[in-house]
Each structure stands twice: as C-alpha cells, then as structure tokens.
Amino acid sequence: MTATRLEGLWRRGREFLGVDYAIMGGAMSWISERHLVAAISNAGGFGVIACGSLSPDQLAAEIEATQTMTAKPFGVNLITLHPQLGELIEVCGRMQVGHVVLAGGLPPASAMTRIRDTGAKLMCFAPTVAVAKKLIRGGAGAIVIEGTEAGGHIGPVATSVLAQEILPEIRDVPVFVAGGLGRGEAIASYLEMGASGAQLGTRFVCARECIAHAKIKRAFIRASARDAMPTVQVDANFPVIPVRALLNEGTRRFVAFQHEVIARFNKGELGQKTAQLEIEHFWAGALRRAVIEGDVENGSLMAGQSVGMVTREQTTAEIVAELVAQAEAALAGRAAAEAALP
C-alpha cells in the first residue's frame, strides 16, 4: 500500500525519466562519469553524465562507454557557457541520448530548440518561478530546482524556500528538487508538496562504483554538515562565484590569496581585470587534484550540506534502496497516523 503511494507520488517523474525510481544523480565534474552514472541507472535511478569542460570527442567517448555498461536510461548535463555547446548537442543527438540537462545559466533559445530537435527530452535548472515559466515556454520538458545547500556552484536561496515558491506554481511539467537531500524522508516530503522526483549528488560520492579517490571518500565520511561551506568573498569589487565545499587548507589559502591580490591592485601593481582573473584562476584544476589525485588539503572538495549523512561507503544499489525504503517508511508512518485519527 505504501509502495503504491510512493509510486503514485513520483509516477510523473518516473515516466519522464523512464526509470523505476525518480532519483537523479547530480552531475558532478570528474565524478559523474561512466561508472557511477551506469551504476545509478542500473540501480533503478537516473544517472547523469557531467560533461563539464569535456570536448565533443571526450563526451562521445564517455557516452559510448556508459552505453556499454547499462541498457537503462541516463542523461547528459551540459553547461550553457561551454564554448562548443552546439557541437556537444550534436554529439548527444548522434548518440541518441534520451535526456539532456542544461545547467550553468539561462540557456539560449537556439540551444533548447536544437536539443528538442534531436528527439531528446530537455531538462533545465530554474532559480525562480519566472525563469521556470520562461524555460517551459521555450520547450523545457522538466525543471530542476536546486537550493543553496547543494555542493559545487550554488545560488542564495534554500531548497525549502524554492520548493514553496515554485512547486505550487509549476504544474504543467515535472519538477525535480535538489540541494541538501540525504534521506528518503526528505524526498517523500517534497513529493507530497508536488515534486515529481529528486536529485542527489553528495550521497553518491561514497558509492563503491564512484571513482573518487579514497581520501575524498574518507573526508566525506568524517565530515559534518557544518564542514561544507561556501567560498568566501573578501571584496565586493572582486566578486567570487560561491562554491560549497569542505573546508581545508585550500579554502583558507583562498581567503589569504584574495587579500594578497587586492593589495597588489591597490598598490597599482595589477589592473582590475588582471586581478579578477588571478582570483578566478586560483581553483583551476583544484577539483581534479582532489577527486583524481587525492589532494584533500589543497584541492576542491565540493560537497553539499547533506555530507553529514554520508556515514560509510556503500554500493550505489544500496544507497538507492535505502532512500526508497526511508521514503516508503515515512509515507507509511503518515498514513498510519491519518488512519488513527477519529
């Protein structure tokens, strides 16, 4: 009975994705590659390849490799600011990718049209109701809302607030909720609010199939929610795009580095543009150093606040099953409470 209730709540999301469970894997650069993506899809969820800065040839190779590891649906996340966005879309079309997720800013209408012309279902991130409605008019078949609790690049608004603002207003397409989700009870709550599914990233970093370095996994398992903090901006004249990650020597050094660069600017040693570029380039290659090389002191340990709920390494199938069981138990508890009312 409770399983039927869960199935009913996320039926729309399941049908849109073509999966057993409307649980999407968040697209994490260097992490959401063939092994983890295929494992999530094989477990009944929906894996998503993080294209990031991959070239068209590299993306094609990643898609092909993933297709050899799973016959289940999976998607590709493309960054709208990628200089070869058109070629990446062409790769997805040629390789018959069923779902494309556009992230990293408001996508151009031409890109949205090209994706739909390939026959793929289009998903877009929306930070407000107005943007969501604009994206739907442009052809988005589903919307993802992601709160500031998420790992990596973040916006300023909490998941709970975005859900209250957007879910009651967007009913004509499925909406997937992301940011800070670590347990099935939270997924169930958002489904009851009107969401069609959920997206999780941080929980899957410690999946056995994930290629993240063992030192990264240990750092995640030891961390609490308070350890995942956004990068600090020290001067409004030199903006820093906030990125949520585990605090380490690199994050502490980044604050000092900003002060050093701004001091050189104030002395006339650097122009503003050059100073801004130096600040922006501080983290160049830092995510790869952490994920692949295991440099947990100086690399970027992008993690959402749900990292405190990562307590051990598990198989991807175990993580998905645990989330589903928790959601079912939460719904069963509420159903029992309702039945007990006079």
Q: Model confidence at 3, in pLDDT bands (50, 70, 90)?
A: low
User: What mean pLDDT is predicted for residues 163-184?
Assistant: 98
Q: Which residue has the tokens 């609010």?
A: 193
Q: Provide the mean pLDDT of the chain.
A: 96
Do both 93 and 33 map to the same domain? yes
Task: Please report whether residue 342 resides in a domain.
Answer: no
End-to-end CA distance of the chain: 21
Do both 40 and 112 map to the same domain? yes
Do both 122 and 235 map to the same domain? no
Do both 76 and 98 map to the same domain? yes
Is a pLDDT exceeding 50 seen at residue 143? yes
Do both 137 and 241 map to the same domain? no
Task: Please report whether residue 111 resides in a domain.
Answer: yes
Do both 160 and 280 map to the same domain? no
Do both 228 and 141 map to the same domain? no
Task: Please report whether residue 85 resides in a domain.
Answer: yes
User: What mean pLDDT is predicted for residues 183-188?
Assistant: 98
pLDDT tens-place string over residues 191-249: 999 999 999 999 999 999 999 999 999 999 999 999 999 999 999 999 998 999 999 99
**Calpha distance 163→176 (Å, rounded):** 10
CB of 155 closer than 8 Å to CB of 147: yes
Q: Model confidence at 142, in pLDDT bands (50, 70, 90)?
A: very high
Q: Which residue has the tokens 């405190």?
A: 308
CB of 220 closer than 8 Å to CB of 270: no
**Calpha distance 59→46 (Å, rounded):** 18
Do both 197 and 325 map to the same domain? yes
How many domains is the chain partitioned into structurally?
2
User: What mean pLDDT is predicted for residues 141-155?
Assistant: 97
pTM (predicted TM-score): 0.95
CATH number of the domain to which 42 belongs: 3.20.20.70
Task: Please report whether residue 338 resides in a domain.
Answer: no
Do both 320 and 239 map to the same domain? no
51: Cα within 13 Å, side-chain hemisphere? 29
Task: Please report whether residue 219 resides in a domain.
Answer: no
- Per-residue pLDDT, 2: 54
- Per-residue pLDDT, 1: 43
- Per-residue pLDDT, 247: 97
Residue 297, amino acid:
E
User: What mean pLDDT is predicted for residues 20-30?
Assistant: 97
For residue 26, the enclosing domain spans: 2-211+312-330
**Calpha distance 179→149 (Å, rounded):** 5
Do both 43 and 112 map to the same domain? yes
Angle between helices 109-117 and 85-94 (to 10 degrees): 10
**Calpha distance 109→138 (Å, rounded):** 7
pLDDT tens-place string over residues 58-111: 999 999 999 999 999 999 999 999 999 999 999 999 999 999 999 998 999 999
- Residue (of 237, 333, 267, 233) closest to 6 by Cα position: 333
- Per-residue pLDDT, 342: 83
pLDDT tens-place string over residues 104-140: 989 999 999 999 999 999 999 999 999 999 999 999 9
User: What mean pLDDT is predicted for residues 334-338?
Assistant: 87
**Calpha distance 101→256 (Å, rounded):** 36
Q: Model confidence at 340, in pLDDT bands (50, 70, 90)?
A: confident
Do both 206 and 236 map to the same domain? no
- Per-residue pLDDT, 90: 98
- Per-residue pLDDT, 226: 97
Instruction: Provide the b/e sequence for 146-161 (b: ≥16 CB within 10 Å).
Output: bbbbbbbbbbebebbe
Is a pLDDT exceeding 90 seen at residue 341? no
Which DSSP state fits 225? G
Do both 229 and 285 map to the same domain? yes
pLDDT tens-place string over residues 256-292: 999 999 999 999 999 999 999 999 999 989 999 999 9
